Amino acid sequence: MKTVLITGGAGFVGSHLAETLLERGYQVEILDDLSTGSIENIAHLQGRRGFRYTLDSVMNRSLLLELVDRADVIFHLAAAVGVRLIVEEPVRTIETNIRATELVLELAARKRKPTLLASTSEVYGKLDEPLFGEEDNLVMGPTSRARWCYAASKIIDEFLARAYFKEKKLPTVIVRLFNTIGPRQTGQYGMVVPRFVCQALSGEPLTVYGDGTQRRSFTWVTDVVNAMIELVEHPKAFGEVFNLGHTRDISIYELALLVKELTASSSEIILVPYDRAYEEGFEDMPRRLPNISKVKNLIGYRPTLDLPEMLQRIIAYYKEKLSGHEIAKSKEHKSAGSEQLAVGRTIRQQRALSKAQKNRRQLAASSGQNFKQQRAEGRKGRR
Ligand code: UDP
């Protein structure tokens, strides 16, 4: 039975990957420092046969060496993610993304362990093409705009993975993810779908940034993790980079309307200028749609769900998670306006508050406390 190491395995994509791998009979080992991941994401996997996790940093060299040695395959997902986090904490973004990848590749190369690197559609930057292909130019904005440090750091990661393949014969495969969505994704770091769904369910205004004409294509997380597994098992994928996304896009304003309709919410939709949502001079991409022929030709990948179906499933997930009580509670915060979530607390402030919370949650998880109780505890901590 194969053992797989997932760095960042307690994150949104990582936790789905772990779940799918366990279902397919792999042994799964997770390394995560819970900086943007959450113990709740993997709570349902605890106790499953073949599942182990370690809460520590990927930068812990001796630990990483041990885990890499034990693994047959490595999925390197640990990274700073989310546009809000990136804009607010560029040092952390650059350092986490580059140093962690350097270390994973260096250690994996010792015994040539096949390694998949999760990259991002952000690397295409301001490319103005109807479809983004893997061989297209990557068009960055100036270094005065913090947003681009994420793309730049991921481009370095991609170069490193390719360099290790070429020079050290390490079997690496790179995937560029296009707005992956699904249950367990948090809106805390800016991702639009969980934010709109939670806003709609709690009766708060849906915060559309800019004029809402920017377009995105959203991809179901299970499609993405299935493709990742097939790619890392496919010898022809090594040394290559693949787009993983959906072929249909939607404007963000239309997305807000669709979420409102599917949740039957009476929330209003408001436009928030980018300067207020992120920072002055923030640059957004008008559209971003992948050409997926390469991955389709190699492994037969194709998106399985359309957007309304994906949203229905996410809404069902959040409805269950945000019980009536929780929604009512979040309404209490409404007086602070939609900015509570949109442009209120910085991530640094959230983190300071949530550190204590996380410790409490870990304790709660191990003592079998349910999620509702944990959230109630968390809210107490935030007051
Ligand atoms: N966005 C929005 N309201 C929000 C969060 C995001 O209008 O509350 C917009 C964001 O400006 C971008 C799109 O939704 O144009 C997708 O944002 P996300 O952060 O999910 O992913 P990105 O494509 O920017 O990496």
Q: pLDDT tens-digit profile of 290-303?
A: 999 999 999 999 99
Query: Quick check: is 192 in a domain?
Result: no
- 349 pLDDT band, cuts 50/70/90, is low
Residue 59 is encoded by which pair of tokens?
Answer: 């930068």
Locate the ligand 1 atom nearest the alpha carbon of residue 278 and give its number: 11
Give yes or no for residue 244 CB within 6 A of ligand 1: no
Domain assignment present for 231 = yes
Q: Is the pLDDT of residue 24 over 50?
A: yes
User: Please, how many CA atoms are within 13 Å of residue 356, restricted to the half-sphere of its CB?
Assistant: 10
| Mean pLDDT to the nearest integer, 149-178 | 97
Whether the CB-CB separation of 252 and 286 falls below 8 Å is answered with no
pLDDT at 367: 31
Q: Is the minimum distance from the CB of 192 to ligand 1 under 6 angstroms?
A: yes
- Say which residue, 145 or 133, is predicted with more confidence: 133
Tally of domains within the chain: 1
Residue 190 beta carbon below 6 angstroms from any ligand 1 atom: yes
CA atoms of 55 and 371, how far apart (whole Å): 20
For the chain, how many residues are written? 383
Tokens of 118: 């999760």
Q: How many other C-beta atoms lie within 10 A of the C-beta of residue 235?
A: 7
How far away, in angstroms, is 163 Cα from ligand 1 center?
32
How many angstroms does the Cα of residue 188 sit away from the middle of ligand 1?
A: 12
For the CA of 122, the closest atom of ligand 1 is 25
Cα gap 326→322, rounded to integer Å: 5
* Structural domain containing residue 79: 3-181+219-246+286-303
217-237 residue pLDDT tens: 999 999 999 999 999 999 999
Q: Identify the pLDDT of residue 378.
A: 35
- Over residues 45-55, the mean pLDDT reads 96
Atom of ligand 1 nearest to the CA of 84: 19
Task: Classify residue 116: in a domain, yes or no.
Answer: yes
CB neighbour list of residue 76: distance below 8 Å, 6 or more residues apart: 7, 8, 100, 101, 104, 105, 115, 116, 117, 118
Q: Is 358 in the pocket of ligand 1 (CB under 6 A)?
A: no
How open is the CA angle 12-88-245, to the nearest 5 degrees?
35
Residue 281 within any structural domain of the chain: no
To which residue do tokens 């959040």 refer?
Answer: 318
Q: Please check whether residue 173 is in contact with residue 179, taking contact to mean a CB–CB distance below 8 angstroms.
A: no
**What are the DSSP E strand ranges found in 33-98?**
51-55, 73-76
| CATH number of the structural domain spanning residue 161 | 3.40.50.720
> Would you call 164 a catalytic residue per the annotation?
no
Q: Tell me the CA–centroid distance for residue 191 and ligand 1, in Å.
A: 6
Nearest CA to ligand 1 atom 1: 192
pLDDT recorded at residue 15: 98
Q: Is any atom of ligand 1 closer than 6 Å to the C-beta of 198? A: no
191 lines ligand 1 (CB under 6 A): yes
Tokens linked to 62: 């001796």
Residue 120 domain-assigned (yes or no): yes
Q: Alpha carbon of 16 to those of 11, 45, 76, 115, 172: distances in Å?
A: 9, 10, 14, 18, 21
pLDDT classification of 371: cutoffs 50, 70, 90:
very low
Count of beta carbons in the 10 Å neighbourhood of residue 183: 18
pLDDT band for position 352 (cuts 50, 70, 90): low
| 262 is a domain residue | no
pLDDT at 82: 77
Task: Examine residue 186 and state whether it is found in any structural domain, yes or no.
Answer: no
365 inside domain: no
Which residue lies with its CA nearest to atom 3 of ligand 1? 208
Nearest to 146 by CA among 345, 282, 284, 346: 282
Query: What residues are paired with 139 via a beta bridge?
Result: 125
Of the candidates 26, 124, 150, 209, the residue annotated as catalytic is: 150
The response to whether residue 179 sits with its C-beta less than 6 Å from ligand 1 reads: yes
Nearest to 57 by CA among 92, 36, 32, 94: 32
C-beta of 106 in contact with ligand 1 (< 6 A): no
Q: What backbone torsions phi and psi does residue 297 show, to the nearest 5 degrees? A: -65, -35
Residue carrying structure tokens 């896009």: 249
- Measuring CA to CA, how many Å separate 213 from each of 139, 187, 216, 366? 21, 20, 10, 45
Least confident piece of the model among 112-121, 208-217, 276-285, 349-358: 349-358
Mean pLDDT over each residue of the chain, to the nearest integer: 87
pTM above 0.75, yes or no: yes
- Closest-lying ligand 1 atom to the alpha carbon of residue 209: 7
Listed residue (136, 135, 138) closest to 126, CA to CA: 138
* pLDDT at 351 (0 to 100): 52
230/299 Cα distance (integer angstroms): 7
The arrangement of strands across the sheet holding 3-7 comes to 51-55, 27-32, 3-7, 73-76, 115-120, 172-177, 240-244
Place of tokens 């046969």: 49
Rounded-to-integer distance, Cα 301 and Cα 109, Å = 28
